Structure 1
């Protein structure tokens, strides 16, 4: 009988736990997350996840790794991987935490932009890439003087960090990045040869060139061939019944406002492809027509019910998806500020016309948000709009500054 089940989904944090099980031939099944059991037992959908004997549940990769290492009966192996002294164990935890929180979180965000998984934001991508370089700098500062991250041997921290760095090279980093970091790759090549991860770090899949953002090409509208002119019909002896006309699809109520002189599409392209604060925003205020478009502060009404920041961001993404019928008349962004179990959603959205409801009420959950009209002639309102669209300054809530941790752009 199996001594448990590990749930993974092919992403970075599941690589090492699965490899430990397979290398040591532990009596633990490995399952993918696309099953009813995982959805039922782990509503937060955290990866990896583990169910052991007697209903023992684990999430968080560091906890899962610690548990799996302790399933090995060789005390010497456990001592090497987890640390032999209090100081060594503390260093192992330190570097595990560093690569799990600092590196992995920034990498996920950067990969999302580069791979087109989230709306492109040039400034945010540059910030995430710079932060990843900063993380590597911290690791290299250690590795210039020491062979490994935590101890004098390959520890669990090295194995986990190497699996994360290896995964990154299959998605966004190429040879140019490897050349820039010889210290890191002296360490990486040594650790990647360790039997625990040798079979799961496939260097043949590493990118030759680092990933660069490429704006999606616009598809040219296909012209429908002109319908042939009908031949004149012979006069009928008796009037035939006319077929019922197909009812026309109702137009969006904002269609009645007609074509605006301010080009929303030009603005969206400018925002997507130019630096937000120095280039895009000055262009916007030069061309914006307040008689054609209004701008609204949007606040989520139930911030006290929000928990994890990534879930708050998913909530925003779902709201924007449900606004798809109105997106041709809108632009804006909602950001998530704060931290896990203490966060909120706020933003600024521009809509065609002077009322918010015709644009927003296509989404079933639109009433979960409060809408306040902004006046860009007021300096504080204009600055709020700039901050919400640039994402480069904290959000001030009740006089307290809260850092922006994530967000979505509606465009």
Structure 2
């Protein structure tokens, strides 16, 4: 009888180490990257890894799944991989928990910023790199006196932490991280040669140099003088109105607009240029001043503070951030009519969601009610003439200062941009 199905994302360390447990111990567990009806019924958050065992037994979270998989293996086969006593097992769980949460969750936002999947925030980027250095020092100190992380034998702590490190070593910290921490480099090379991996790391090489954010703004600015010269040339005078007409086609004849906000017509300052400026320029130094000078017109746009109503139900910060991502996906029909940022503040099991939006027109409802869950949020109109409101809006763009909630300053841990 099959021992279950494991749903994975192949390149994720949280997933591939579980897949390697199954392969190494020859467990009768099916591996799949396809989310079927059984998965959708059990895991509404849509996260992997996820496991469904006999009689519908379901597990999420990599540590829980690994614990169950090891329970399917005989003690003789496992040997000392889970430690020789309760204290060692607790130390193993300590390292797994630390790097599953702190390492991966620090690498992920920097990776997204480096590849353009999230707007670059220098403060957040630098803070994450500093956290990765702290974690590197924790390992370096331990491995200065010991061969492995727990005791003097290879344990699951070594396997998991090595797998977790590959996410950073392949992307945002790369080879320089191992040069900075020679004990970690020695340990990583030892663990990577374990027969447990069955050759997974035989040709593995960390990124050198690491992946970093490279703003595309200079290339775009070089085109501006040529465009201006072309517009000023006499031969182009008659062509200019045609170009403008091509960029702003007349709305298609239809009895009703596709989106309610189309009835307001085209604004003097469309959102596209603002979105490019926000994505490509330094937020505080360039983008925010540009917004107030060139984009915001209180007659055409309104500003809204958006707060999640059920913060007391939130648990892990990454799950709260995923909730924001789902909300943004469902708002996609209103992309042309608004721009916003929402952040998660606080820490695991004590966090909340807030944000700010620029919305076409003076009413938030037509922009937000395209999302089925929009009523899970509270909307408060901001007044840009008030210093407090303006400061809040600016910080939702920059994410570089704490948010004030009920008089208490709360640090921003994560966030997403709707554009």
TM superposition score category, shorter chain reference: 0.7 to 0.9
Gaps (5+ residues) in structure 1?
227-244
- CA 1:370–1:65 in structure 2 vs 1: closer, same or farther (change >3 Å)? closer
Are the equivalent residues in 1 in contact too, given 2:170–2:210 (CA < 8 A)?
A: no
Alignment of 1:152-167 (within 5 A): 152-167=152-167
Deviation at 1:189, TM superposition (A): 0.4
Gaps (5+ residues) in structure 2?
224-238, 243-251
Deviation at 1:102, TM superposition (A): 0.9
Are the equivalent residues in 2 in contact too, given 1:271–1:280 (CA < 8 A)?
A: yes
Find the counterpart in structure 1 of residue 279 from structure 2. Answer: 272
- CA 1:377–1:275 in structure 2 vs 1: closer, same or farther (change >3 Å)? same
CA distance in 1, matches of 2:369, 2:203: 50
The answer as to 2:22 corresponding to 1:14 is no
Query: 1:330 aligned to 335, 338, 343, which one?
Result: 338
Map Cα deviations across residues 352-393 of structure 1 (whole Å, 9 max, x no partner).
444434544554544443322222332222222222222233
The answer as to 2:68 corresponding to 1:67 is yes
Give 1 or 2: higher helix fraction.
2
Find the counterpart in structure 2 of residue 299 from structure 1. Answer: 307
The answer as to 2:268 corresponding to 1:259 is yes
Q: What TM-score does the superposition give when structure 2 sets the normalisation length?
A: 0.78
Find the counterpart in structure 2 of residue 29 from structure 1. Answer: 30
Are the equivalent residues in 2 in contact too, given 1:9–1:33 (CA < 8 A)?
A: no
Q: What TM-score does the superposition give when structure 1 sets the normalisation length?
A: 0.79
- CA 1:382–1:21 in structure 2 vs 1: closer, same or farther (change >3 Å)? same
Which structure's CA Rg is the greater one? 1
Map Cα deviations across residues 170-203 of structure 1 (whole Å, 9 max, x no partner).
4445444443333321110011001102422353
CA distance in 1, matches of 2:55, 2:333: 49
- CA 1:358–1:254 in structure 2 vs 1: closer, same or farther (change >3 Å)? farther
Match of 1:203, SS state, is coil
Find the counterpart in structure 1 of residue 396 from structure 2. Answer: 388
Match of 2:303, SS state, is strand
Find the counterpart in structure 1 of residue 183 from structure 2. Answer: 183
Deviation at 1:214, TM superposition (A): 4.2
CA distance in 2, matches of 1:200, 1:27: 20
Are the equivalent residues in 1 in contact too, given 2:304–2:357 (CA < 8 A)?
A: yes
Map Cα deviations across residues 121-163 of structure 1 (whole Å, 9 max, x no partner).
4443333333223222222222223222222121110011111
CA distance in 1, matches of 2:378, 2:69: 47
CA distance in 2, matches of 1:258, 1:264: 9
- CA 1:4–1:321 in structure 2 vs 1: closer, same or farther (change >3 Å)? closer
Find the counterpart in structure 1 of residue 324 from structure 2. Answer: 316
Find the counterpart in structure 2 of residue 369 from structure 1. Answer: 377
Deviation at 1:264, TM superposition (A): 4.7
CA distance in 2, matches of 1:318, 1:54: 30
Aligned residues: 386
- CA 1:215–1:20 in structure 2 vs 1: closer, same or farther (change >3 Å)? same
Find the counterpart in structure 2 of residue 235 from structure 1. Answer: none
Are the equivalent residues in 2 in contact too, given 1:308–1:341 (CA < 8 A)?
A: yes
Are the equivalent residues in 2 in contact too, given 1:7–1:31 (CA < 8 A)?
A: yes
Match of 1:151, SS state, is coil
Match of 2:265, SS state, is helix
Query: What's the RMSD between the two structures over aligned residues?
Result: 3.5
Are the equivalent residues in 2 in contact too, given 1:177–1:210 (CA < 8 A)?
A: no
